[in-house]
Amino acid sequence: MPIQKVSFEETLGRMVVGRGLCVGCASCVVSCPFKCLEYFNGNPKIVGECKACGICAQICPRFNFSMPQLEEFVFGRKRKPEEEFGIYKRIIAARATSDKVLRVCQDGGVVTSLLISALDEGLIDGAALSYESPEEPLRATPRLALTKDDILGSAGTRYTYSPNILALNEGVQRKAGKLAFVGTPCQIHALRRMQMLPLKKYADAVKFLVGLFCSESFTYDGLVKGLLLGKLGVKPEEVVGINIKGKVLLKMRSGEVRAVSLKEIRDYACAFCSACPDFSAELADISVGGLGLEGWSLTIVRTDIGEEVFRRAELSGAVRVKPLEDARIIDLLIRMSRRKRETSARFYGSA
Ligand SMILES: Cc1cc2nc3c(=O)[nH]c(=O)nc-3n(C[C@H](O)[C@H](O)[C@H](O)COP(=O)(O)OP(=O)(O)OC[C@H]3O[C@@H](n4cnc5c(N)ncnc54)[C@H](O)[C@@H]3O)c2cc1C
């Protein structure tokens, strides 16, 4: 289909940024062939004369986004009504075998293990992912990881938004070779749209996409100034990790774990997350979350390349797997997926 020629201002400027829907994924910024956009304060900002090529409007995860269209592209078919958390090949509980990974990971260390295994096996040359800003504790920051140590040093979840597409762009500019991409569902949406268009330099650079389950991300100011400093009187540098398991669990440098009610953090969720219909990264090659499990990752293998990456990690012994014995986990996954679709539908209904 020929690209409709429309300007950034008429499309994303007015309908996405202007309505507070921009997730700040940076896909438009990196894709603009005329370098008209810059990434500024988490949003695109027009800095040159827009030639109205229309590319940004074709790849934005918040503009004319169609899940069925992308499902056709990724899986060759649309989902059946009973495929409530998207199309997949298998769903398992999995866990890293390496103590080094288990010490630093968020849940079962599957994401880090898959990336290290794929690097070892020569499937990838690196990964576009996220790490903690060396300058600001708890701030998620995109990173181009080209070594095992980089990947290991990026394990764990930061609950603030990280535009990992900037790291992918760095990899493309540096001709870093084949890359894995790790990101939240909205970033996977953008990446799939870039592949579908196609924007060849990005499509060719990406070997596989690992999607993280996501209820929402939080603003840095809200999380740090609002919750930690404001409500709890805790300095961010005292917190070595945060996990959300029914409660917000703050792992303190002292070894203590402080539990805080989810209600305390909800006010600081990024407003744009209400528009997202996707909990379990339904378009990724492999989706990973911690839902319903302790110390294991709930892992959904969705595509052929996802299966190959996972199988190689399993065969090399990097991950071990157990079946999901508790049917309540699938029920929970279905409930979370429905809830996100309903919230998104309500958002658009009232927007
Ligand atoms: C904002 C956010 C919200 C989430 N919400 C849920 C939820 O509601 N329910 C649920 O089950 N799981 C959620 N997750 C996923 C969960 O926290 C774990 O990332 C997942 O279970 C993988 O764990 P692991 O031990 O296998 O990953 P690890 O081996 O620890 O690797 C984690 C990977 O995630 C990357 N990463 C870390 N922070 C970010 C970020 N902000 N943006 C992009 N990439 C990042 C790291 O670079 C690393 O590669 C969320 C993740 C994020 C980032």
Per-residue pLDDT of the chain (351 residues; tens, 9 = 90+): 566 789 999 999 999 999 999 999 999 999 999 999 999 999 999 999 999 999 999 999 999 999 999 999 999 999 999 999 999 999 999 999 999 999 999 999 999 999 999 999 999 999 999 999 999 999 999 999 999 999 999 999 999 999 999 999 999 999 999 999 999 999 999 999 999 999 999 999 999 999 999 999 999 999 999 999 999 999 999 999 999 998 999 999 999 999 999 999 999 999 999 999 999 999 999 999 999 999 999 999 999 999 999 999 999 999 999 999 899 999 999 999 999 999 999 998 865
Q: What is the rounded radius of gyration, in angstroms, for the C-alpha atoms of the chain?
A: 19
How many Å lie between the centroid of ligand 1 and the Cα of residue 116?
A: 16
CB 48 within 8 A of CB 35: yes
**Cα–Cα distance, 182 to 210 (Å, whole number):** 5
**Ligand 1 proximity of 155 Cβ (cutoff 6 Å):** yes
**Cα–Cα distance, 299 to 279 (Å, whole number):** 13
**Cα–Cα distance, 192 to 202 (Å, whole number):** 10
Question: Both ends of the chain: CA-CA distance in Å?
Answer: 29
Q: What is the pTM of this model?
A: 0.98
Whether the bond between 198 and the residue before it is cis, its omega within 30 degrees of 0, is yes
> How confident is the model at residue 1, as a pLDDT?
58
**9-59, what's its fold?**
Alpha-Beta Plaits (3.30.70)
> How confident is the model at residue 2, as a pLDDT?
64
CB 191 within 8 A of CB 30: no
Q: Where in the chain is the domain with CATH 3.30.70.20?
A: 9-59
Between helix 185-196 and helix 67-75 the angle, nearest 10°, is 70
> How confident is the model at residue 5, as a pLDDT?
81
Q: Tokens 């407003």 label which residue? A: 271
**Cα–Cα distance, 118 to 310 (Å, whole number):** 9
Q: Tokens 């870039």 label which residue? A: 194
CATH number of this structure's domain 220-264:
3.10.450
Residues 119-158, buried b or exposed e (16+ Cβ, 10 A)? beeebbbbbbbbbbbeeebbbbbbbbbbeeebbbebbbbb
Positive or negative CA dihedral for 265, 239, 168, 88?
negative
Given the CA of residue 158, which atom of ligand 1 is nearest to it? 38
> How confident is the model at residue 75, as a pLDDT?
98
How many Å lie between the centroid of ligand 1 and the Cα of residue 170?
A: 21
Integer angstrom CA distances of residue 170 from 126, 180, 207: 12, 13, 16
**CA 77 to mean position of chain CA atoms:** 23
How many Å lie between the centroid of ligand 1 and the Cα of residue 71?
A: 23
Given the CA of residue 187, which atom of ligand 1 is nearest to it? 43
**Ligand 1 proximity of 141 Cβ (cutoff 6 Å):** no
> How confident is the model at residue 325, as a pLDDT?
85
Comparing C-alpha atoms, which of 289, 315, 279 is closest to residue 110?
289
**Ligand 1 proximity of 303 Cβ (cutoff 6 Å):** no
Q: Where in the chain is the domain with CATH 3.10.450?
A: 220-264
**Ligand 1 proximity of 112 Cβ (cutoff 6 Å):** yes
Given the CA of residue 101, which atom of ligand 1 is nearest to it? 29
Q: Tokens 């996707």 label which residue? A: 278
